[in-house]
Structure formats: structure tokens, C-alpha cells
Amino acid sequence: MKKIAVIGILALFAVFAIPTASAQGYYYLVPADSNATYGNCIEVGLWTHPAIYQASGAFNLTYDPTCAEISCANWTGNTTQWPGGITCSQPALGSFYITYAAAAGVEYPPEGDYHIGNLTICCDSTTYCKVDFGYFAYETYHSNVSDVWWVPLQNATFTCGAPTEESFSKDLYDGWNLVSLPLTPSDNSTSSVLASVLDNVSAVYRYNATSKQFESASTMDSGRGYFVHVTQNCTWTYSGTPYTSMSTELKQGLNMVGWLNCSKPIDDALSSIDGDYWYVARWNAVSQSFEVYNPVAPPTFNDFDVLERGTGYFISAKADTTLSASC
């Protein structure tokens, strides 16, 4: 695709070669979480919320082009709000780049909400997929006559199509079982999730990482681990949509977490918290005992090295952090 030259932006970078990294405002999409069915599109508003006086800015949205399609041909800029000029370019596949400016000598006051324009996002896949837009992107900033600041896009997503429900089965053993939900159920009540084995269930507990206490669980959510006590061997089966992406806050100390609808080597699965945890433990329901993975131990000393769907885990975090992962 043809790249449009942006003279104003080049001039800015000539004066401000390295913009200051700070939270001097943000961009956001309306709606933040949008969706479209296969072959269809949705119009989404792009807005800026500066925490400084703002004269111009640039917004770079990167996305997975196999899932979503965003085109300058379907972009409408708000030239009434930004009469100094709005440009749209696509410097690379999966990149959508907007620059805009107020009239000469005009700066908009901070803490306002200013509409930049509307973009159209199309469902460009024939299978369910989801794009997460929220993060700091290259060359995304607010600027005024004195400086340039990198600013983020608030968390935003686009969902193409609808996930298809699947079934999951797991053998439970007489005693305690540490499980998680690889599928997100439509009804997350414990009685519904465990309906297939409910006659054998005597207790369900989750761990509160803040209070460091076990609590009886009346609901069950993906991303969390649960101790389920059954009175005899049985097979648990339930249905839901695949849980394929997670962002889970971990507290310093022990955290009982769930895992996704896939299996991954543990060093890959926990790459977002590499160096931030002491160990990971899982429960062996057959022997009714814990097994441990230590990231700095020789491989032969570890009891496992893969995180598996349907299994819950304890993670001992060195400090508060966030576990982010996807299938």
C-alpha cells in the first residue's frame, strides 16, 4: 500500500527526536470492544483525551490482518475539529496510521474529549478470532508547541464472528482435584459447571491471594484454579467457548490460577512473568500430593514442564505482577 508523506510529523521529529514517555493523556475507541459477523463491518470512533494542551498528534493502530481489515478508504476524519489537516496512511500490512492537527496557533485544553474521526473495522476471517488493540504503539503521541509525549490507546478489542461451544472432559479422582476451566461456560454457577458430577462433589474451594485464605466457591470462572473434592472416581464434562487469552493479576506469595484451552511448555506459558516467580505447583489427584516446577532447577529435578488445559496451578510470585498469555 502507498505510504502518505506527513510533512508536519517529520518536522516535529526534527525538533523532538526522542519524545518524552509519560501518561499525558490517551486515545480510545468507541465502542472500546466491537464485533462483527463474518464478512461484515462496524464503524468505530477514534477519540483523544489529552492531559496537556494539545495542538496535534499521531495514532498508530496495529492489528492482525488475517482477523480484521482496516482501510484508509473507509476512514472519515473530523476536519471540523482538526482543520489543520488529517492524514491516513498504511505503512505496512496490519498498520493504520493517522496524523491530525488543530488550526495554526490553536491548542485544545487538557482533560477534554476530542473526536478525531471514524474508522471501519471489517471481519476478515471465516473463523472466530479476536484482536486486542490496547498497548503503547510506535509513533503514537500527543504534541503541542513545546513538546511531544508518547501516549497509549486504552484497552480495546475487535471480535470477528462468534466462538463455537465445545465440550471438555476430565477424570476426577476420589479426594481432592485441582482443576481450571479451559472453556468459558454460559452459566458459571458451580452447580452448573459441575452438573455432570454434582452427586459426587462434596466441596469446591478457591484461594484468595489477598487474604491468603481458602474460600468456598459458588461460581467458577476461567483463569482461576479450584480444589474440587469428590467422593469417588468420576468423569467431569461441561461445555463452553474456548478460553484462549488471559491477563491475571498475581499477588506476592501464593496464587491459585487456571490455564487456557491449550497446553504449552511452562517457560513459554509463563514468559510474561519470567524471573518474577519462585515456583509453580500442581496437585497430583492420584497420589494426593503436590508436584513442583522450579524455573532455576535442572530439568531432572522438576516434576513437570508443561501447563495443561483443565489443570489448576499454584504460582509463588516474588512480587505483585500480571500473568498474560494466549493460545
- Which pLDDT belongs to residue 327? 87
Q: Look at 37-46, 84-93, 129-138, 309-318 and tell me which has the smallest mean pLDDT.
A: 129-138
Contacts of 77 (CB under 8 A, 6+ apart): 86, 88, 98, 100, 116, 117
Residue-level pLDDT at 13: 30
Which cell is 322 given?
Answer: 500480571
What is the Cα–Cα distance from 46 to 34, expressed in whole angstroms?
13
Q: Which residues are 170's β-sheet partners? A: 236
d(C-alpha 313, C-alpha 284), whole Å: 11
CATH of 7-160, one of 1.20.120.920, 2.60.40.680, 3.40.50.2000, 2.120.10.30: 2.60.40.680
CB 25 within 8 A of CB 50: yes
Short-list 105, 96, 74, 99, CA closest to 86: 99
State the pLDDT at residue 5: 27
Instruction: For the chain, give the mean pLDDT.
Output: 89
Note the pTM of the prediction, 2 decimals. Answer: 0.60
C-alpha span between 300 and 122 (Å, rounded): 49
The CB density around residue 134, as the number of other CB atoms within 10 Å, is 15
* Residues 157, 180: Cα–Cα separation, whole Å: 25
Q: Is the pLDDT of residue 12 over 50?
A: no
Distances (CA, A) of 303 to 11, 149, 179, 267, 292: 58, 48, 18, 14, 6
pLDDT at residue number 133 = 84
pLDDT at position 138, please? 62
Contact 138, 189 (CB under 8 A): no
What is residue 134's predicted lDDT score, i.e. its pLDDT? 62
Interatomic CA distance for residues 184 and 241, integer angstroms: 5
Q: Could you report the per-residue pLDDT of 255-295, keeping only the tens digit for each?
A: 999 999 999 999 999 999 999 999 999 999 999 999 999 99
Domain ranges for the chain, please list them: 7-160, 166-326
Q: Do residues 269 and 307 touch, judged by C-beta distance below 8 A?
A: yes
* Tens-digit pLDDT profile for residues 80-139: 999 999 999 998 888 899 999 999 999 999 999 999 999 999 998 988 888 888 655 567
Distance separating alpha carbons of residues 238 and 171, to the nearest angstrom: 12
Distance CA 116, CA 43 (A): 13
